[in-house]
Structure 1
Amino acid sequence: MIQVLILYASSTGNTEEIADLIEKYLDPTVCETTMENIEMGDMDPQRLLQYDGILFGTYTYDDGDLPFETDIFCDTLRTVDLTGKVVGVFGSGDTAYDEFCAAVDLMKAEFKQQNARVIQHSVKVDLSPDEEDLQSIKKLAEEFQDLTTNSAATRKAGNF
């Protein structure tokens, strides 16, 4: 069983809704999931090392900015090496702004800086997820589960 952390920041509940949907698309016979909302600076990034994979969600604040709690998390994230960890990123934003869901791209870059294996596909939802977003959410969950399962099997075989 692979250990999965779904970690997210949500102000209006939109990003939390995406996190819940992703969890529903993960196979519970394969993934043991822990879901956590980032509170103001209370996430110790060393805890990320306990998991085989991380699904990280954030909303985009204003015109492309990281929200306060995600920005604080980034500062501490830079202290941990995530080599071998699979990471998928998702988030919500508002297309009324020029920099739609820019925080998702910023977080992908942050996780790559920490040597994580970041999934290319990410989920960007305009406000709240609708029927069209479900395919993208399902795709992220499936790719994440496949990559994480393969990475965990390789580590257990001693080849990683």
Structure 2
Amino acid sequence: MKKVLILYASSTGNTEEIASLLEQHLDTKVLDITSKNLEMTEVDVKELKEYDGILFGTYTYDDGDLPFETDVFNDNLQNVDLNGKVIGLFGSGDTAYFQFCEAVDTMKNEFKCRGSIVIDHVVKVDLFPDEKEELDAIKELGFLFQKALSAHAIQSSS
């Protein structure tokens, strides 16, 4: 059974809702899923090595900034090798800002720098996930994440 961490920062509950919807689209028969909110739980970045895959979500603060808890997490991430970990990214933002969901892109680049297998498809939601396109994008991320975990398992065993 693959170990998966859904880790997110959510100020208003929007990113938390995305995390919850993602979890609903994962197969619990083959995945052991743990969900943590960065604002509620202190996460030691070394814990990430315990998981086969990580779904990471963050909201974007102001005009493209990482929120405080994501920024602290990112600083701690700098010395961690996540080579081979499958990473999927999601987040919420507000299209009223020029740098819509920029924090998601920032974290995508950071995970790539740590040697992770980062899924190209990211989910960016304008405020709350209630549009059909957003819900379809969340479902697609769950599918692609599981597919990447399976493909990585096959490559690792070869």
Deviates more, 1:136-145 or 1:34-43: 34-43
CA contact (8 A) 1:26 1:142 kept: yes
1:55 counterpart residue number: 55
Amino acid at match of 1:53: G
Unaligned runs of 5+ in 2: none
State TM-score, norm by structure 1.
0.95
Unaligned runs of 5+ in 1: none
Instruction: Give runs of aligned pairs for residues 1-150 of structure 1, distance below 5 A.
Output: 1-39=1-39, 42-130=42-130, 131-150=132-151
Percent identical across equivalent pairs? 61
CA contact (8 A) 1:59 1:101 kept: yes
Change (3 A) 1:110 1:40: farther
CA contact (8 A) 1:88 1:118 kept: yes
Number of equivalenced pairs: 157
Distance 2:41 2:23 in 1: 24
Distance 2:105 2:41 in 1: 21
State TM-score, norm by structure 2.
0.96
Q: Report the aligned-residue RMSD.
A: 1.2
Deviating runs (4+, > 2 A) in structure 1? 39-42, 152-155
